[in-house]
């Protein structure tokens, strides 16, 4: 080998610092590119999963709201029941285990007061007021029934705790509640949901709806209904 060739070869040996730097730089570049490639799908996957989960939850909530009350949904959450119409028939269990029907009160005046939940403050006051006036309603030829979606055990506990003297009906399927327009959309703390709308219906001796009170305010309400029953 000539002296010139030896000089040229000695400038770029395979183990030289320059070659090592190039190799290290190339390896680092490949590692960085590989890390980016691995991270990107992970981020996309997480975002996709979160989006899918959110969509599923929203769909579930929408489905629940849509189908929780078919009759209410069909009628726009409002009953078509109006004063002067025939009172819809019903047959439901009451406290004590008996079954109550509209036909049981044929030829009598009948008060149906729908309350949201047994043993809550407003419902308790309302039930106690109707119990207080039970004899006065009887003297006016008027029967009184309280209706909610509570199970029978809850109704019986409610009755015993407050010594209520009026029959309490359980409509867990909401069928009667919807038919009489006492089931619909409510809101609390900025959230909307379906539930019982405090409503009272007075049925005349002819079996027709004589009076309807919606969005009832408890204070003085039972006395107001009694006056209406006496005037029929």
Which candidate in 87, 118, 123, 229 is catalytic? 123
- Report d(CA 201, CA 88) in Å as an integer: 11
Contact residues for 40 (Cβ-Cβ < 8 A; gap 6+): none
* Cα→Cα distances 191→17, 108, 158, 183, Å: 70, 41, 28, 17
Length of the chain: 232
Q: Is 21 an annotated catalytic residue?
A: no
Angle at which helices 121-132 and 152-162 pack, to 10 degrees? 60
Give me the active site residues, please: 123
């Amino acid at each position: 080998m000539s002296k010139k060739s030896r000089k040229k070869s000695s400038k770029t040996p395979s183990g030289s610092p320059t070659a090592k730097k190039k190799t290290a730089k190339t390896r680092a570049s490949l590692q960085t590119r590989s890390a980016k490639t691995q991270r990107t799908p992970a981020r996309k996957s997480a975002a996709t999963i979160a989006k899918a989960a959110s969509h599923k939850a929203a769909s579930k909530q929408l489905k629940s709201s849509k189908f929780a009350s078919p009759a209410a949904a069909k009628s726009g959450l409002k009953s078509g029941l109006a004063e002067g119409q025939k009172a819809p028939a019903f047959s439901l269990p009451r406290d004590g285990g008996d079954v109550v029907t509209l036909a049981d009160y044929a030829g009598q005046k009948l008060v149906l007061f729908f309350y949201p939940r047994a043993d809550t403050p407003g419902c308790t006051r309302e039930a106690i007021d109707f119990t207080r006036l039970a004899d006065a309603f009887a003297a006016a030829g008027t029967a009184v029934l309280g209706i909610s979606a509570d199970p029978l055990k809850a109704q019986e506990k409610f009755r015993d705790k407050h010594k209520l003297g009026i029959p309490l009906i359980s409509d867990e399927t909401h069928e009667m509640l919807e038919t009489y327009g006492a089931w619909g959309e409510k809101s609390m703390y900025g959230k909307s949901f379906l539930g019982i709308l405090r409503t009272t219906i007075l049925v005349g001796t002819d079996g027709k709806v004589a009076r309807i009170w919606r969005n009832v305010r408890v204070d003085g309400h039972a006395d107001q209904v009694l006056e209406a029953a006496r005037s029929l």
